[in-house]
Amino acid sequence: MAAAVNIAFATPDNLNGLTPSQQRPIDLVHLASQTKGDKAVEVEILQMFARQARGCLVALTADRGKAEVKAAAIRLRNAAMAVGALRVAAAADLVETKGANADALASVAAAVLEAEHFILKLAR
């Protein structure tokens, strides 16, 4: 009986595993929960995110001070988390914590480009 209770209340092995929606550049399940399933609002929010992400990317790559780069990384991370762009958020977090070195900026640019392409495919 005790073993059955332990198994019933144990943490699942796959608790931190990726779900199919989180393997995409944009987590559509998260986005749908944010927009209550309204597809028109989803597309509009994703297009606004793409514009904001591009602007933050320009701010990150411009020759600016550490404080401005960190602020741009925070803006990008927060916007990415709001729409479910988890790879963009992770890359922006890397720039925020480690600084704007070439590898971190390249990963941010690649993640933003991947998210933009995904958004363009959805908007067709």
Distance CA(89)–CA(73), nearest Å, equals 9
Residue-by-residue DSSP string for 32-55: HHHHTT-HHHHHHHHHHHHHHHHH
pTM for the predicted model, two decimal places = 0.78
What's the pLDDT at 16?
A: 56
What's the pLDDT at 88?
A: 95
**Structural domain contains residue 75:** yes
**Structural domain contains residue 97:** yes
Distance CA(63)–CA(91), nearest Å, equals 19
How far is the first Cα of the chain from the last one, in angstroms, to the nearest whole number? 56
The candidate with the shortest Cα–Cα distance to 110, out of 42, 57, 48, 52, is 57
**Structural domain contains residue 96:** yes
What's the pLDDT at 12?
A: 54
**Structural domain contains residue 67:** yes
**Structural domain contains residue 5:** no
Q: Where are the beta strands (DSSP E) in 4-120?
A: none
Q: Which domain holds residue 98?
A: 21-123
Distance CA(55)–CA(72), nearest Å, equals 9
Distance CA(20)–CA(18), nearest Å, equals 7
> How many domains does the structure of the chain reveal?
1
CATH code: domain of residue 44: 1.20.120.160
Name the residue type at position 112. V
What's the pLDDT at 11?
A: 56
Name the residue type at position 103. D
**Structural domain contains residue 1:** no
Distance CA(122)–CA(99), nearest Å, equals 32
If the chain, 124 residues long, is cut into consecutive pieces of 10 residues, what is the mean pLDDT of each piece? 58 54 80 86 92 93 85 94 93 90 92 93 81
Positive or negative torsion for Cα 40, 43, 48, 51: negative
**Structural domain contains residue 55:** yes
**Structural domain contains residue 14:** no
